[in-house]
Amino acid sequence: MWEIFSYSFMQRGFLVGNIIGLVVPLIGVFLNLKRLSLIGHTLAHVALAGVALGIFLGIYPVPLAIMVAVVAALGIEKLRHSAYSGYAELSLAIILAMGLGLATILISLADSNVAVYSYLFGSITLVTRQDLMIIIPLGAVIALGVGIFYNGFFFVAFNEEEAKLSGVPVKLFNIIFMIMVAMVVALSMRIIGGLLISSLIVLPVAAALQVARSFRQTVFLSMLFGVISVNLGLVLSFYWDLAPGGTIILASVFILLLAFLFKAFRKMRSPKGMIIREEKVDYE
């Protein structure tokens, strides 16, 4: 089995995959609490426009994808709190439509459809050292950022109005968080693929919600399930010659099914079932 690590592209794939498996569900927990789980799908299509632009210009596309995704994320945040304050899904739909239109035009202009395809569905073999130099430090920045702003993200995700009344800088926290989301989505396209990244944002969190008894447990289990999904998916895709992104997502679905079974078993033993407690957050 250990022969899988004798290939340099698999070593890079596992390194990048485990970083993605940690930070995507970590961000996904707060996104799901904010009822914005589909933002990953929206930003992935916008980031794809950045990828196509980079390929068209003949430069490394990941930084462009990150910049375009960040601009789109800030646009969503602006629309969500101004023009469509009561209809957050409309802001997603508007940015999604714009991103799809721009991506379609740029993809038609790009010389290499194969390269674009790898960002759509993910590819282990195309993960380069240049990818590592961007994904590793930015992954660390995202994880550190969530650790630093954990209480603020938690409070804002559960109740923005109450957070404002408590003196929490909601606008600042939202901007920081949306930038992190954009970075996560753009970085994940290399191995998961733009069409599948929203699934990794949702599925590990959905599984964790079935078995966790507190918010901290939900965060921890989401990250654990994300890492397990990525590693299981990469191993199966290598030995069975499958698409890595799709295999990772199916591994996440399998874990979700196991979580449902675990919850059902626990309910049979405890009629009261599971209660997830909200943590107390001290801002003094």
User: How confident is the model over 217-273, as pLDDT tens digits?
Assistant: 999 999 999 999 999 999 999 999 888 889 999 999 999 999 999 999 888 887 554
**Rounded Cα gap, residues 226 and 265, in angstroms:** 23
Candidates 1.10.3470.10, 3.30.450.20, 1.20.59.10, 1.10.3720.10; CATH matching 2-196: 1.10.3470.10
Question: Long-range contacts of range 253-259, CB-CB < 8 Å, 24 or more positions apart?
Answer: 253/203, 255/203, 255/204, 255/207, 255/225, 255/228, 255/229, 256/203, 256/206, 256/207, 256/210, 258/207, 259/206, 259/207, 259/208, 259/210, 259/211, 259/225
Q: Which residue has the higher pLDDT, 279 or 170?
A: 170
As beta bridge partners, residue 214 has 277
Question: What DSSP element (H or E) covers 95?
Answer: helix 88-109
Going by pLDDT thresholds of 50, 70 and 90, the confidence category of residue 112 is low
Region 276-280: what's the mean pLDDT? 45
Q: Where are the beta strands (DSSP E) in 27-140?
A: none
